[in-house]
Amino acid sequence: MRKNIKKMVQKSDNSLRAVTFFLLVLLSSSACSQQHPAKTNKADTLDQKWDQTIPGSFSGQTQATFDSTRVNRFLRIYPAFKPYTQAIQIFYRHRHYAYAWFEHGRLIEQASNLVNRMLNLKLEGLNKHAPYERQLDSLMFAGNTLETTTELELMLTAQYFVFAKLAWTGQDEAFSRAADWNLPRKKINYEQYLDTLTGRPATDLSNSGPVYRQYELLRQYLAKYQLLATQNWPIIRLSANLQPGARSYLVHEIKIRLWQLEDFYGDTTSLLYDASLKKAIARFQERHGLSADGLLNKATLTELNIPIKQRVDQLIVNMERSRWLPVKLETDYLAVNIPEFKLHVYHGDSLLWSCNAVVGKTMNRTTVFYGELKQIVFCPYWNVPPGILRNEVLPAIKRQPDYLATHHMEVTGYNDGLPQIRQKPGPDNPLGLIKFLFPNSYNIYLHDTPSKSLFNENQRAFSHGCIRISEPARLAAFLLKDRPDWSSDKINNYMHAGIERSINLRKATPVFIVYFTAFVDRSGRLNFRKDIYKLDTLLLQALLIAGRE
């Protein structure tokens, strides 16, 4: 019977996107001291901004109805759906108990789409099975009696709310906080969205859904990588250095591997390290955050030999993170993707530009969180954080009595027996010529740096936690674009004046500090990055435990 239902729902594959394909918004990908913050209610203040209630439509049929008592009877028979009791009851009260999944006595196509998704939760990156799979299967082929029709109607609605929880919402907020995700979670009115789906409004639903756009993009690649995981994936070993122009059977192996990963499109039987292979290697390198020189170096070979199951796990954990983000923002905002070492500047769904960033070292992690950028400081003083003061500055002063004068530092006071030290504005100031403040309890902000050479490194985890950006003047111009008096020349003059001056922005700009080790870029290419803080490992273990519950 299970095979029969799969065959039936596969016929509606072309309309599968009518239910839930989610291409909406956030990231193409894509400090100075670290302290665990006290609990605040900042997330509560953002709830209104993050709520994404999708308007319902009652344009579906309203004539065929069922007895309201059938809802409670159904929930007694299928107790696993009891957590969704309120959602189911509200949905049908609003519809006056009209059938949602039937029209003119026949199932609408969204029903088979939903069943297909529920019977294939593995393709959603979920280690779970739909509740009552056998009963769902049987009801889809049961006779068209009033009894079975009503039971199937309620079964589909209940399964929808399960799907919404698993695929669109993910694990709860306590779970995401334990996974070091300190951004407020989105809120969705799934009852109204279900009515939109089943009401079949005039708007096209194929490219909308209440989930961050990366979820569906990663989901499409997950199916491909799950298939690759069933194939042979031998380790490629090089006994000698291979250069362009060389001939070797290993070239054939590498071409096959890159063909499997959709980087190589030429003749895989050729043993020649030709221009097409060099181009394919460069493409692969670019997707993995390596220097795209097209040469088969050690770092590239290491990435080529990553077990495909590990890539599947990366996709799964990043799909889970995608479930937690807001669906869509219509304003300007910034996104820093820590493993990508990039700052991305957006307006709505449009990526305006990106630049390289330096993030915190493993021992001084940049925190994953949300803030609102409100102030620009030109020629900033650098107030030495307590950790750096104890571990670096004070020992240096003992070794070198004139350390403060040499480094243009001064003592401004004392706190708990420790001197409060700051470095004066200047070209050697660690914050460079400008910093961007978004108040937070982690003491993290964006800033310039005198160490420009670090932006040329592939792996850029060098800071004490704050985020250094390679194009600070450009960011300042973007943030001040609504103020005609702030020309690029004026910004440059303020950056080099040697006097600290602060400018409050007229409108705060949202800043998302996120952690995605797998993402699809604006060219539609799947990218992977190293799990520099081991947050993937932490999240994957938690998801495996949750999947067994």
216 within some domain: no
Considering the chain, what percentage of its residues have pLDDT values greater than 70? 87
Is position 541 within any domain? Answer: no
Which is higher by pLDDT, 145 or 228? 228
Give the span between the Cα atoms of 351 and 444, in whole angstroms.
24
518 within a domain of the structure (yes/no): yes
pLDDT on residue 546: 85
pLDDT band at 209 (very low <50, low <70, confident <90, very high): low
18 in a structural domain: yes
Q: Residue 7: pLDDT above 80?
A: no
Catalytic amino acids?
447, 466
Q: Which residue has the higher pLDDT, 330 or 525?
A: 525
Taking the mean position of all CA atoms in its chain, how far away is CA 325?
7
Same domain, 6 and 117: yes
For the segment 37-79, what is each residue's pLDDT rounded down to a tens digit? Answer: 444 444 444 444 544 433 333 336 778 999 999 999 999 999 9
* CATH label of the domain that carries residue 375: 2.40.440.10
pLDDT digits (tens, 9 = 90+) for 490-512: 999 999 999 999 999 999 999 99
Q: Give yes or no: residues 299 and 157 share one domain.
A: no
Q: Is residue 120 part of a domain?
A: yes
Task: Please give the distance of CA 112 from its chain centroid, rounded to a whole number.
Answer: 29
Confidence of residue 2 (pLDDT cuts 50, 70, 90): very low
Domain of residue 248, residue span: 234-306
Domain identity same for 26 and 113: yes
117-133 pLDDT, tens digit each: 999 999 999 999 999 99
Residue 65 is assigned to a structural domain of this protein: yes
Residues 89-128: pLDDT tens digits? 999 999 899 999 998 888 888 888 899 999 999 999 999 9
**How much is the pLDDT for 56?**
35
CA atoms 391, 379, 372, 337: torsion sign = negative
What is the pLDDT, as a whole number, of residue 501? Answer: 97
Give SS3 for 435: strand
Total domains in the fold of the chain: 3
- Judge if 494 and 374 occupy the same domain: yes
3-state SS assignment for residue 164: helix
Give tens-digit pLDDT for 465-496. Answer: 999 999 999 999 999 999 999 999 999 999 99
Looking at residue 449, what is its pLDDT? 96
Q: Is residue 262 part of a domain?
A: yes
Cα–Cα nearest to 250, from 294, 284, 301: 301
| Contact in structure between 538 and 360 (CB atoms under 8 Å) | no
φ/ψ region of 426 (left if φ > 0, alpha if ψ in -120 to 50, else beta) reads left
Assess whether 337 and 294 both reside in one domain: no
- What are the pLDDT digits (tens) for 233-248? 999 998 778 999 999 9
